[in-house]
Amino acid sequence: MSTGTTPKPGQGAPTPQNAEAHDTGRSAASNARGNLSNAQRFLLDAAEKSVDMVHREIIRKGMDSYDVAHAKGRTRFAFWDAARQRCQEIKREAVNHLDQYLLEFEKNVIAHGGHVFWAATSEEACQYIADLAVKHSVKTVVKSKSMVTEEIHLAGALEKVGCTVWETDLGEYIVQLRNEGPYHIVTPAMHLNRKQIGDLFRDKFDEPNLSDDPQELVAAARRKLRKAFFAAEMGISGANFLVADAGCIAISTNEGNGRLSTGVPRIHVAVTGIEKMIPKLEDLATLWPVLATSGTGQPITTYGSLIGGPRRPGEADGPEEFHVVLVDNGRSSLLASKEEREVLHCIRCGACLNICPVFRHIGGHSYGTPYPGPIGSVLVPRLEGEKFEHLSSASTLCGACTSVCPVKIDLHHHLLENRRDFTEAGHVSAGERFQFKMFKTAMVNPSLYKVGGWFMRKSLRLLYSLGLSGSVLDPLRPWNKGRSTIPLAKQSFRAIWKKELDHGE
Amino acid sequence: MANSGSRDLILQRIREGLKTQVPVPPPMSDEAVIFPPVEDPMARFQQECKANLMELTLTNDAGASAQQIAGILSSLPEGEIYVQDAPFLRQLMQTVATVRTVHWSSEGAPRESAQATISLAEALVAQTGSVFVTAACGGRGISVVAPCHIVFATTSQLVPDLKTALGSATRKGILHNNSFACMISGSSRTADIEKILVQGAHGPVRLAVVLQAGN
């Protein structure tokens, strides 16, 4: 998905459930925004979402219940901070010796009868999987949740070769039916309430009597997806971890869709970033509880699956073929940077999204990438380049993200470093450069600053008294146009300072 | 290998990148306490099973276990059951009073229509109330396909925590001898709709553990 506002590529293709994929409000709006740059579209989407009161209420409720569960979950640890540090150490060890661990992993998977494919780019990964599908005459593909497959646009590539792709995670299935991308990396449909989901299912499933009761909605989705699981020839999953010493992938799921996707079809393909590596199986003793706590507040995810190869002789079931697709797609370029290398420690728990005041207001779709929130704003500009650089400014730098990161990534400083690097690389508009030049001139010249301040106070007061706040004449227009006017101070700071000093004497 | 080009390219990029030295702070002591120690594994296991919405029954002998399993089966709708083909379960099933058709794991994968599955476990974990299964415990589908999964285990299989369970799995080479293993901590569930917990998403609604004293 190149932008969050266009429909996911390929997902409009006819599948049993979205043959008449309806245009959501979002994609309808995006048509009118076709000519805008990514950054302009981001600003419009964000502004729109932040005043959407229904959205705000849904997210507030969702995040409130997460906050409670997360806080309670942390009390199960003797020392939460020690757990975070251990996880940081595990990931640091893996990333600092990534080549060695990848080779150890590869050797073990091959010894188990599996295949390992190294994909330098998205295209290469999609090509390999599409070729596999063609070779095995695959018609139906079931997918469990994987953000890497969103990143590389896998569903579209498979639909092009005639496959029907079913998202089987409930949240992913809901957004697929709506022809949207995931809203959140852990809970893809958290922007919808039960009524909206009920309407969607009643419409798509031809079950007009379905109620809005979550239990009933889940059962309806189960009935639909059940058929897909047993019809599918290929199952696609991501991986939460690649375990080097055991030569297996680890997948955490609650619903069990990940288990059916990887266990029932004839072929299992796991698509994953190279940075998901961990050295030892035993590392999961810390990582599993920490991931679950940070992701949902659970003590541990319901199913921690470990898959090392295809079905062995003597085993009752399992796929005949097991493929692991290791996706680089720009990740290795982060290794050379002292500062940025640790971004590869991310375990995609979503904690930084949940706590981020920006995410909570503008929502996941506004970011226009499968990785929204602070980690996305750090990572995506590095991986996808200039058209996402504006995301590094989508932060208040409050540091809340850093405070919750379970592998202690210094997220808000990375946002700052991104901004610095993009500015140094000259990716700044002439207007902005001019403004900063003016700002600098005023800042180093006290009398100029004094006169400038006086002039602004006078002229803005006049402007606002004429009701022109937020108009094109207002230098504070970006803020004032959608909000009540910023109140102007009666006196300058300099005047107040001087008065206080005089009193002091 | 078909794509040795990209393989070499990625490895070369990684090695090039790793030439940059990033200072590594001294690691935390191995003795650092992350989780409160599990003092009484049995009590903890019971407590965690309850929190995970699992059904746990303690039994004293095979007779009581068979009775317990028969009781669970009689509460389920009509339909076949799927059982791990292990000598102990063969023996046990002879004494379980049921009129259901039984399919054994040696006959192939479980069918979608199975009402219940019965398997053994590799280990039980007190810390998280988990059942650790491997492909040797009747395969992959046995623990996820039917609405009810019944696990038979003995108290000697109970370990205090994840570290012990995974450490022992490493020593035994579990993942080199099985294509699959899974740490199961409760029934299948989702909270994707308004963060409201619903049990029985794609996997079992019920996970019942029959835990027999001894080994």
Q: Where are the domains of chain B?
A: 39-212
pLDDT of A93: 97
In a domain, A40, yes or no: yes
- pLDDT (average), residues B101-106: 95
Q: Are residues A326 and A448 in the same domain?
A: no
| Nearest-CB residue to A255 (from B52, B162, B190) | B190
Smallest Cβ–Cβ distance between A222 and the set B16, B85, B202 belongs to B202
Complex prediction ipTM:
0.97
Residues 118-177 of B with CB under 8 A from A: 128, 130, 135-136, 138-145, 161-163, 165-167, 169-170, 174-176
Task: Answer yes or no: do B176 and A108 touch at CB < 8 A.
Answer: yes
For residue A112, give the chain B residue with the closest CA: B176
- Using a CB-CB distance cutoff of 8 angstroms, which residues of chain A are in contact with residue B85? 316
Please report whether residue A178 resides in a domain: yes
Average pLDDT over residues B41-67: 96
| CA A66 centroid distance within chain | 17
> What are the tokens at A478?
């970006």
* Nearest CA-CA distance, residue B173 and chain A, Å: 8
3 state DSSP class of B61: coil
Per-residue pLDDT, A32: 59
Domain that holds residue A218: 25-331
At B104, is the secondary structure helix, strand, or coil? strand
Q: What pLDDT is stored for residue A95 in this prediction? A: 98
Q: Is B198 part of the contact surface with chain A (CB cutoff 8 Å)?
A: yes
Contacting residues of A for B184, CB less than 8 Å apart:
302-304
Decide if A202 is inside a domain: yes
Of all residues in chain B, the one with the smallest CA distance to A223 is B202
Domain count, chain A: 2
Output b/e per residue, A466-487; b: 16+ Cβ within 10 A.
Answer: eebbbeeebebeeebeeeebee
pTM: 0.91
* A374 within some domain: no
Question: Rounded to whole angstroms, how far apart are CA atoms B202 and B146?
Answer: 9
- Indicate the class that CATH gives domain B39-212: alpha beta
Residues of chain B positioned with their CB less than 8 A from the CB of A281? 166, 169-170, 175
β partners of residue A164: A140
User: What pLDDT, on a 0 to 100 scale, did the predictor assign at position A27?
Assistant: 43
A318 Cα distance to chain centroid: 31
Question: Does the distance separating the beta carbons of B19 and A289 come in below 8 Å?
Answer: no
Q: What radius of gyration do chain A's Cα atoms show?
A: 25
**pLDDT of the residue at A14:** 35
Q: What is the DSSP letter of A322?
A: E
Measured CA to CA, the distance from residue A67 to residue A64 in angstroms comes to: 5
Q: Return residues 85-104 of B near A (CB < 8 Å).
A: 85
CB contact under 8 A, B193 and A317: no
Residue A143 forms part of a structural domain: yes
B6 Cβ partners below 8 Å, 6+ apart? A118, A119, A120, A124, A328
pLDDT of residue A504: 57
Q: Which CATH number belongs to the domain containing residue A238 in this structure?
A: 3.40.50.10420
pLDDT in tens, chain A (505 residues): 333 333 333 333 334 443 333 333 344 444 556 788 999 999 999 999 999 999 999 999 999 999 999 999 999 999 999 999 999 999 999 999 999 999 999 999 999 999 999 999 999 999 999 999 999 999 999 999 999 999 999 999 999 999 999 999 999 999 999 999 999 999 999 999 999 999 999 999 988 999 999 999 999 999 999 999 999 999 999 999 999 999 999 999 999 999 999 999 999 999 999 999 999 999 999 999 999 999 999 999 999 999 999 999 999 999 999 999 999 999 999 999 999 999 999 999 999 999 999 999 999 999 999 999 999 999 999 998 889 999 999 999 999 999 999 999 999 999 999 999 999 988 888 888 898 899 899 899 999 998 988 898 899 999 999 989 989 989 888 888 878 888 888 888 888 888 888 765 5
pLDDT at A25: 37
Contacts A135 to B, Cβ<8 Å? none
